[in-house]
């Protein structure tokens, strides 16, 4: 709606992962450095953990761009699959047609591909599993088995697990001790620091290439940080709504009042009455239960 008003060539705050809008904060830079180091050094297992909306998926996209064409990749985005579907998806991603429906045949086919079409040609293969906290224990055990695909010199398949904090705690389970011990590169991605929020916002604005100068007041940015906690996805949604409020008022400066409206929009201010109604219903239920209890006591002389 506001794109034409500000003259943006592209929306500055999309919530979908886009490497072109990637802001290299100190956290994101360090995470990338860890992962690139691990992959270039042939580490078998890598782990990237972070809260919802901190930019984990975007980092994986940037990582692939930086590593170039010498890397064969398979990307698992849907963790709600069984073991057979898991292996089949990996093969399809590598450009192979599964030859059989048994796990042994699929593993043999994958191993043959990694040996003759990847390692023999001086290339690497990387399996990225996003939202890995949702993987079942059976799939995680299958992931561990995949790490056994190796030669005397190197791992044939490197594996990057990406997930929310629950993944870290899941890996502490006794059943996953062997898998956890094999992870040699780990990074916990934290939200943006307070001083980085303004840089992040203007980085995104500039990437959108507006036709006019857009300013966020210091108090507006302070309010954005307080509400978002430095989480990029929440910042994106807040700034998107704040720009919409500015468009409605035909202004190019973003004030704290506009950010406050954006907060209410995200919270769903028009649901306040529904919340109050729900509270009333809960109160009525308590009163009704107490009344029934008194009636039963009187009836049975309790």
pTM of the model: 0.84
Reference 44, options 154, 142, 151; nearest CA is 154
DSSP state of 172: T
Read off the pLDDT band of 272 (50, 70, 90).
Answer: low
What average pLDDT does this structure show over 263-280?
A: 69
Reference 124, options 73, 60, 160; nearest CA is 73
Please name the residue ranges forming H helices in 68-153: 83-93, 103-113, 137-146
Query: Which tens digit of pLDDT belongs to each residue from 121-134?
Result: 999 999 999 999 99
Read off the pLDDT band of 278 (50, 70, 90).
Answer: low
Read off the pLDDT band of 302 (50, 70, 90).
Answer: very low
Query: Which tens digit of pLDDT belongs to each residue from 95-112?
Result: 999 988 899 999 999 999
Query: Which tens digit of pLDDT belongs to each residue from 9-58?
Result: 999 998 888 888 999 899 999 999 999 999 999 999 999 999 999 999 99
What average pLDDT does this structure show over 56-80?
A: 89
Domains detected in the chain: 26-189 (3.40.50.300), 192-269 (1.10.8.60)
**Using CA of residue 189, residue 55, residue 194, residue 264, what is the dihedral sign?**
negative
Reported as type and span, the H/E element at residue 162 is: strand 158-163
CA 68 from centroid of its chain's CA atoms: 22
Whether the predicted pLDDT of 202 surpasses 80: yes
Q: How many CB atoms are located within 10 Å of the residue 218 CB?
A: 10
Using a 10 angstrom Cβ sphere, with 0-12 exposed, 13-18 middle and 19 or more buried, the burial of residue 151 is: exposed
């Amino acid at each position: 709606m506001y794109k034409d008003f500000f003259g943006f060539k592209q929306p500055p705050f999309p919530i979908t992962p886009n490497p072109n809008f990637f802001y290299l904060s100190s956290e994101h830079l360090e995470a990338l450095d860890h992962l690139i180091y691990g992959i270039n050094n042939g580490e078998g297992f890598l782990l990237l953990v972070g809260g919802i909306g901190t930019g984990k998926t975007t980092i994986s996209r940037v990582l692939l761009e930086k590593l170039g064409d010498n890397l064969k990749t398979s990307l698992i985005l849907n963790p709600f699959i069984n073991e057979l579907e898991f292996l089949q998806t990996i093969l399809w991603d590598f450009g192979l047609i599964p030859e059989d429906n048994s796990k042994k045949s699929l593993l043999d086919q994958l191993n043959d591909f990694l040996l003759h079409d990847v390692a023999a040609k001086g290339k690497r293969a990387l399996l990225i599993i996003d939202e890995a906290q949702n993987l079942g224990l059976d799939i995680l055990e299958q992931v561990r088995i995949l790490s056994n695909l190796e030669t005397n010199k190197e791992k044939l398949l490197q594996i990057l697990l990406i997930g929310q904090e629950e993944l870290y705690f899941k890996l502490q389970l006794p059943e996953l001790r062997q898998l956890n011990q094999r992870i040699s590169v780990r990074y916990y991605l934290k939200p943006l620091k307070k001083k980085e929020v303004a840089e992040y916002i203007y980085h995104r604005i500039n990437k959108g290439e507006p036709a006019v100068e857009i300013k966020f007041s210091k108090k507006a940015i302070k309010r954005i940080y307080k509400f978002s906690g430095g989480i990029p996805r929440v910042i994106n949604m807040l700034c998107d709504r704040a720009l919409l409020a500015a468009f409605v008022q035909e202004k190019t400066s973003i004030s704290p009042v506009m950010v406050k409206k954006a907060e209410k929009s995200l919270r769903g201010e028009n649901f306040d009455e529904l919340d109050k109604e729900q509270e009333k219903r809960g109160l009525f239920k308590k009163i009704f239960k107490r009344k029934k209890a008194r009636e039963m006591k009187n009836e049975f002389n309790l």
